[in-house]
Amino acid sequence: MALGLSFALLLSNVARGRGVMTAAVLVPWAIPTVVAAKTWHWLYDADVGLVARALPFDDVDLLGMPGWAMHAAILVDVWKTTPFVALLLYAGLSTIPADLYKAAAIDGAGRFATFARITLPSLRSTLGVAALLRALDAFRVFDAVYVLTEGGPANTTETLSIYAYKTLMRAGDFGYGSTLAVATFVSLGLLAAALWLAIGRGAAR
């Protein structure tokens, strides 16, 4: 959310080359998730990966060590989905009347005061929707993590979706696997309802 908001503010304040910058920001989101995850898998490779070689640590396997694998998977998910948040927030920023900023400038408000008292309150609903969509997407994440680690090492990156998939397709336990799938659906519904109520209460204030 913080990165997406930063990119959205950057795009809204750029006078020239906005189209090119918007296209550049959206590149990670446009790349198919499996392709992106496979590329990052190569970058993380302990022997030939550029990211692994750039680290100042020796004998670090980013995808093979429990202490590193989850952080590596989170980095890929953030890289992949930040453009989506940036696009939503950029659209929200474009709806804020320019007269508000002009009035704030006339009154002598600084950048931080303008951001805190005009931009953030005006983006409250958009931020809520973005948080809702990202929370649901993160809760059900499967493809990126599965391509990177398949839930390993030692199940440290095993999400609920991967666990349900392994139970259904690998273990062949269709009863328990179906229960996990239904539980995932119910959990997503409850999470969406809770966040939607929170967004509604925030908008009412």
**Does the structure show a pLDDT above 70 at 202?**
no
| Cα 174 from Cα 26, distance rounded (Å) | 39
Mean pLDDT over residues 125-153, rounded?
89
Task: Tell me the CB-side half-sphere exposure of residue 12, using CA atoms within 13 A.
Answer: 21
**Does the structure show a pLDDT above 90 at 38?**
yes
Counting beta carbons within 10 angstroms of the beta carbon of residue 26, is it exposed (0 to 12), middle (13 to 18) or buried (19 or more)?
middle
What is the pTM assigned to this prediction? 0.83
Calculate what percentage of the chain has a pLDDT beyond 90.
Answer: 31
Domains and CATH numbers, the chain: 2-204 (1.10.3720.10)
| Cα 27 from Cα 101, distance rounded (Å) | 31
The confidence band for 187, taking pLDDT boundaries of 50, 70 and 90, is confident
Provide the pLDDT for residue 203.
59
Mean pLDDT over residues 153-163, rounded?
89
**Does the structure show a pLDDT above 90 at 5?**
yes
**Does 2 or 17 have the greater pLDDT score?**
2
